[in-house]
Amino acid sequence: MVLEVKDNGRGMPIDILQQFDQTGAGTGVGLGGIRERARELGGKLTLEATSKGTLLRIAVPHLSKAQVADSHKRHIT
């Protein structure tokens, strides 16, 4: 499953995008938290930016209810 959110603003600066890609930091708590949740679900968050806007893409595999429950158990304990 893929979720994309795009705006038409001025875009994120390249140094911020690189820092986020390398460390997960530099964009505030929100994107870092979303990135970690996507990873917990076996997925990935990516950011792309140009002078015409920013695209956030979250891709996660489809999981069964049992797999989701197991994922929650592993991260709560």
Average pLDDT over the chain, rounded to an integer? 80
* Domain extent listing, the chain: 2-76
Region class of 26: left (phi > 0), else alpha (psi between -120 and 50), else beta: left
Query: If residue 71 lies in a helix (H) or strand (E), which one and from where to where?
Result: helix 65-76
Q: Measuring CA to CA, which residue among 24, 25, 59 is closest to residue 45?
A: 59
- What is 2-76's CATH superfamily? Histidine kinase-like ATPase, C-terminal domain (3.30.565.10)
Strands (E), 18-59: 44-50, 53-59
pLDDT, tens digit, 9 for 90 and up, residues 11-42: 887 877 777 777 766 666 678 888 888 988 88
In the predicted structure, residue 59 carries a pLDDT above the cut 80:
yes
